[in-house]
C-alpha cells in the first residue's frame, strides 16, 4: 500500500485502480523468433491436435467396450489376478525370487523407492547446466535403462499371464510370488476310454483331446470331482476363460454330455 | 454489448491483467509445431490436461448412476454399461481415458526429462509434476476396484497384500485402505471416497501449482 501513487484514484472504496488498461494484445514481433500469441492463434492449433486425439480416443471407445467380468466372488480360487497394465512392471518385479519371499522388501520398497526417488530428485542429482541429452550421458543412460526395464517387465508380466491363463483350469490363483504357482494339470490317463457320447463331439475333441486327455483345453478325465452336472452344462453353454460357449446348441445333448462328464471321478 | 459487459466487470474487478496472465502470452517458435514439426513433443502436457478434463467430466456423469456399495456397485455398472443411453460410451471414455492419461503423462515426463527442462530454475515444477504422476497412479489403483467385478476384487486384494508387506507402515497402510480385515464393504466405500474426493482434490491443487509455475517462469528455452 505504501508505494501507491498519492493521486491514484480507485473505483469506489475498493482497491481497484480507476485507471483502465485497454485489453489489447501486445505485439509479439518484439519477441525473438517467430513467437505468436497463445490466444487465440496457438490455442486453435492446440485444439486441432486435441480434436484429432479425441477422434482416435472415441474410435477406441466405440470399438472396444470397457470390460466387465463377473461379480466379485472371494471364493473363486481359479481367478488369476491381474492389475491394470501400468502397474504390471511393479507386479512382475515381485515374481522374481530375488525380489520375493525373504527379499520382498527389495521388490516392494527398495527398487521402486530408489527409482521413483531418483526421478523426483532428478534436478538435484543432475545439476549440470547442459540440457542436451547427449551432453549428460549419465542421466540419459539411466533413464533409457529404466525405460528398457519397464518395457521388458511389462512385456514379461503380460506374456506370463497369457501362458498361465491358457493352463489355469483348476489351478490356484498364482499370486504371492513364484512364477510357477499355477497348479499343473491332472496327468492324462493313457488307458482312459471315453464314452461314445464324447467321441461324437468333434467340437470338444479339438481342444480337450480324443480321450479327454487335454491339449489346448484342460484334461477332463476326472472333471466330475471338481464340477457337478449343472456347472458343466453352464460351461458348455457359456464358455469359460478362453473356451467359447454355444458349440453345442441342442439342450438335451448338453444335458446328457454334462451328466456323463460329471460321473467321471 | 459484450464489450460493455466486459467493461462493466473490468471496472469492478480489473480482470484485464488476470486475462493477460491466463491467456495472452507469447508462444515461442521452438515449441510451435507449425514452425518445427518435431515440436509436437511439446503437446503431451496439454493433451494430458485435455484427457484429465475428460476424465473429470465422464467421472461426474458416472457418479449419476454408480452406487458405491458391494450389493449394488456391480449391478449399477452393468446397468450403466448395458441399459443407459450412451452409458457404454461414458464408461468407455473413463476406462480408456485412464490408460491414455497415463500414456500422455509418461510421454510428457520423458519430453521434460530429455530436454533437461527440470533444471534450475524449474526444479519445483518438476517435483510437483512427479507428485501429479503419483496421484494419477493412485487414481488408477482406487478406480480399478470400483466396478466390483472379479478383476477388480482380486487385483486390489493383491495390491493390498503388497502394501501389507512394506516394513513398519505396511500393516497400518493396509488397514487404512481396507477399513477392516478383509477387502469388503468398507474397502469399497473408502476407495470410492479416495477416488472421487481425496485424490481429485489433491490433483486439482497440484495442477493449479503446476500451471501457475509454468506461467510465472515461462516454458524452457530452445536446446
Sign of the Cα pseudo-torsion (A131, A132, A133, A139, in order): negative
Q: What is the pLDDT of residue A216?
A: 67
How far, CA to CA in Å, does A217 sit from each of A220, A240, A243?
Answer: 9, 10, 8
Contact A72 B12 (CB under 8 A): no
Three-state SS string over B38-60 comes to: HHHHHHHHHHHHHHHHHHHHHHH
Touching check for A74 and chain B: CB below 8 Å?
A: yes
- Annotated domain spans of chain A: 35-65, 85-169, 196-262
In this predicted model, what pLDDT tens digit does every residue of A150-173 receive, in sequence order? 999 999 999 998 888 776 544 333
- Annotated domain spans of chain B: 42-116+123-217
Q: What is the pLDDT of residue A3?
A: 54
Nearest by CB to residue A23, choosing from B19, B88, B162, is B19
Q: What is the pLDDT of residue A23?
A: 78
**B42-116+123-217 falls under which CATH superfamily?**
Cytochrome Bc1 Complex; Chain C (1.20.810.10)
Q: What is the pLDDT of residue A190?
A: 67
Chain B partners of A93 at a C-beta cutoff of 8 Å?
A: none
Nearest by CB to residue A108, choosing from B77, B141, B166, is B166
- State the distance between the two ends of chain A, measured CA to CA, in whole angstroms: 91
Q: What is the pLDDT of residue A168?
A: 55
Contact A82 B81 (CB under 8 A): no
Chain A partners of B102 at a C-beta cutoff of 8 Å?
A: 86
Contact call for residues B27 and A38 (beta carbons, < 8 A): yes
In this predicted model, what pLDDT tens digit does every residue of A212-228 receive, in sequence order? 877 667 778 878 877 88
Q: What is the pLDDT of residue B47?
A: 95
Q: How many CA atoms lie within 13 A of B51 on its CB side?
A: 28
Task: Identify the CATH number of the domain defined by range A196-262.
Answer: 1.10.760.10
Residues of chain A with pLDDT under 50: 1, 169-185
| Minimal C-alpha gap between B14 and chain A (Å) | 6
Per-residue pLDDT of chain B (223 residues; tens, 9 = 90+): 999 999 999 989 988 888 887 877 888 889 988 888 999 999 999 999 999 999 999 999 999 999 999 999 999 999 999 999 999 999 999 999 999 999 999 999 999 999 999 999 999 999 999 999 999 999 999 999 999 999 999 999 999 999 998 989 999 999 999 998 899 999 999 999 999 999 999 999 999 999 999 988 988 988 8
Touching check for A134 and chain B: CB below 8 Å?
A: no
Q: What is the pLDDT of residue A5?
A: 58
Touching check for A70 and chain B: CB below 8 Å?
A: yes
| Minimal C-alpha gap between A15 and chain B (Å) | 9
The class level of CATH for A85-169 reads mainly alpha
Query: Phi and psi at residue B48, in whole multiples of 5°?
Result: -60, -45
Nearest by CB to residue B12, choosing from A16, A94, A132, is A16
Q: What is the pLDDT of residue A4?
A: 54
In this predicted complex, what is the ipTM?
0.90
Touching check for A13 and chain B: CB below 8 Å?
A: no
Closest CA to A110 of A125, A95, A99, A120: A99
Amino acid at each position: 500500500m505504501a508505494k501507491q501513487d498519492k493521486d491514484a484514484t480507485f473505483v469506489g472504496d475498493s482497491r481497484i485502480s480507476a485507471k483502465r488498461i485497454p485489453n489489447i494484445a501486445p505485439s509479439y514481433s518484439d519477441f525473438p523468433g517467430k513467437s505468436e500469441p497463445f490466444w487465440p492463434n496457438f490455442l486453435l492449433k492446440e485444439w486441432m491436435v486435441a480434436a484429432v486425439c479425441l477422434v482416435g480416443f472415441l474410435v477406441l471407445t466405440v470399438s472396444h467396450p470397457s470390460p466387465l467380468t463377473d461379480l466379485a466372488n472371494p471364493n473363486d480360487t481359479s481367478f488369476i489376478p491381474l492389475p491394470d497394465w501400468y502397474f504390471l512392471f511393479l507386479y512382475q518385479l515381485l515374481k522374481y525370487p530375488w525380489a520375493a519371499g525373504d527379499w520382498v522388501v527389495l521388490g516392494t520398497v527398495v527398487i521402486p523407492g530408489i527409482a521413483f526417488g531418483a526421478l523426483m530428485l532428478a534436478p538435484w542429482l543432475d545439476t549440470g547446466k547442459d540440457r542436451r541429452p547427449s551432453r549428460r550421458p549419465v542421466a540419459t543412460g539411466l533413464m533409457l535403462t529404466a525405460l528398457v526395464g519397464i518395457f521388458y517387465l511389462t512385456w514379461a508380466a503380460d506374456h506370463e499371464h497369457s501362458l498361465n491363463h491358457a493352463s489355469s483350469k483348476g489351478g490356484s490363483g498364482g499370486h504371492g510370488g513364484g512364477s510357477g504357482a499355477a497348479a499343473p494339470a491332472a496327468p492324462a490317463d493313457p488307458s482312459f476310454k471315453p464314452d461314445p457320447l464324447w467321441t461324437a463331439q468333434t467340437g470338444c475333441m479339438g481342444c480337450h483331446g480324443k480321450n479327454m486327455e487335454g491339449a489346448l483345453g484342460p484334461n477332463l478325465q476326472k472333471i466330475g470331482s471338481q464340477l457337478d452336472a449343472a456347472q458343466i452344462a453352464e460351461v458348455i453353454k457359456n464358455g469359460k476363460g478362453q473356451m467359447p460357449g454355444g458349440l453345442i446348441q441342442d439342450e438335451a445333448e448338453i444335458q446328457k454330455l454334462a451328466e456323463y462328464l460329471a460321473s467321471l471321478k | 454489448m459484450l464489450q460493455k459487459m466486459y467493461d462493466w466487470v473490468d471496472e469492478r474487478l480489473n480482470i484485464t491483467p488476470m486475462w493477460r496472465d491466463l491467456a495472452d502470452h507469447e508462444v515461442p517458435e521452438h515449441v510451435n509445431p507449425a514452425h518445427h514439426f518435431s515440436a509436437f513433443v511439446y503437446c503431451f502436457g496439454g493433451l494430458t490436461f485435455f484427457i484429465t478434463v475428460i476424465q473429470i467430466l465422464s467421472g461426474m456423469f458416472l457418479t449419476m448412476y454408480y452406487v458405491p456399495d458391494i450389493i449394488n456397485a456391480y449391478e449399477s455398472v452393468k446397468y450403466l454399461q448395458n441399459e443407459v443411453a450412451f452409458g457404454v460410451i461414458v464408461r468407455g471414455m473413463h476406462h480408456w481415458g485412464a490408460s491414455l492419461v497415463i500414456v500422455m503423462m509418461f510421454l510428457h515426463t520423458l519430453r521434460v526429462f530429455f530436454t533437461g527442462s527440470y533444471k534450475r530454475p524449474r526444479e519445483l515444477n518438476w517435483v510437483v509434476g512427479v507428485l501429479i504422476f503419483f496421484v494419477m497412479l493412485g487414481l488408477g489403483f482406487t478406480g480399478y476396484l470400483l466396478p466390483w467385478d472379479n478383476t477388480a476384487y482380486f487385483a486390489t486384494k493383491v495390491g493390498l497384500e503388497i502394501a501389507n508387506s512394506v516394513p513398519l507402515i505396511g500393516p497400518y497402510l493396509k488397514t487404512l485402505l481396507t477399513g477392516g480385515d478383509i477387502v469388503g464393504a468398507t474397502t469399497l466405500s473408502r476407495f470410492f471416497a479416495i477416488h472421487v474426493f481425496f485424490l481429485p482434490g489433491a490433483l486439482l491443487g497440484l495442477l493449479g501449482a503446476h500451471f501457475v509455475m509454468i506461467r510465472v517462469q515461462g516454458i524452457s528455452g530452445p536446446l
